[in-house]
Amino acid sequence: MSSQLPLALRWPAHQRFDTFLVEGSNPLLDVLRDPLAADAFFICGPRASGKTHLLIAACAHASAEGQVAQYLDLARFAEGSVDGIRALGGSDLLALDNVDAVAGNRAAEHALFDLYNRCRAEGTRLLFAAQDSPTSLGLTLPDLVSRLASSTQWTLRPLDEAGRRTVLRERAAQRGIALDDDVMDWLFNRHSRDLVTLTGLLERIDRAALAAKRRVTVPFLRQLLDGQG
């Protein structure tokens, strides 16, 4: 089980505070950077609104400051053992993603409740993320709902298309890939426009372009993604 825990996770380089481009988010970033700003923080927002990005960025920032940070995607325990939840603790910052995934799972909810209480007693900062607010997640353990609802809360909104294009271009540039307007238009017209999907596509494109030693062009993408010559 220990091999599955993200205690030594290498935080992805593209998920940092300075690459989070959501208008009006500076107050949120200031809180997440400051270890004294909030003992428990709950971020809610729809899929691809940047929740995981912020949790990873907070962990990376804490690690850079010499603190111990842990991250866990609760979706992995929604159907199975909750030993991974109970095994966490002893860190300066604990980030728990996809809290809504354990709603209705009695064992997981109790494990999360116990973890919350233990971490607060240890002085651990807690950072949660889910698609809805704590009172709207469908959690069945009232004490857990109460604990989560007492957190400082922030709601995210997804980037508009211009923002997603900017993020994708910047992430491509970090890999040494130039995406011109034709390439961007093709990607956005032919594939899902959420950043999770687009980032996954970018990784695939990067590997293929390096292997083929080719520039990223529309014909190259047609061949790679559509199987057309």
**CA distances, 111 to each of 82, 116, 125, 147, 212 (Å):** 7, 9, 18, 13, 48
The pLDDT tens digits along the chain (229 residues) read: 333 434 345 677 777 787 776 656 778 888 888 877 779 999 999 887 889 989 999 999 999 899 999 999 998 765 556 888 888 889 999 999 999 999 999 999 999 999 999 999 999 999 999 999 999 999 999 999 999 999 999 988 777 788 888 888 888 888 889 999 999 999 888 877 777 788 888 889 999 999 999 999 999 999 888 764 3
pLDDT tens digit string along 8-17? 456 777 777 8
Tokens for 76? 């992995």
CA of 157: how far to CAs of 31, 44, 48, 117, in Å? 18, 9, 9, 30
Reported CATH class of domain 2-155: alpha beta
What's the pLDDT at 12?
Answer: 75
CA dist., res. 209 & res. 66, Å (int):
37
The structure's pTM equals: 0.73
- Report the alpha-carbon angle 173-175-181, nearest 5: 40
Which helix (H) or strand (E) covers residue 181, if one does?
Answer: helix 181-190
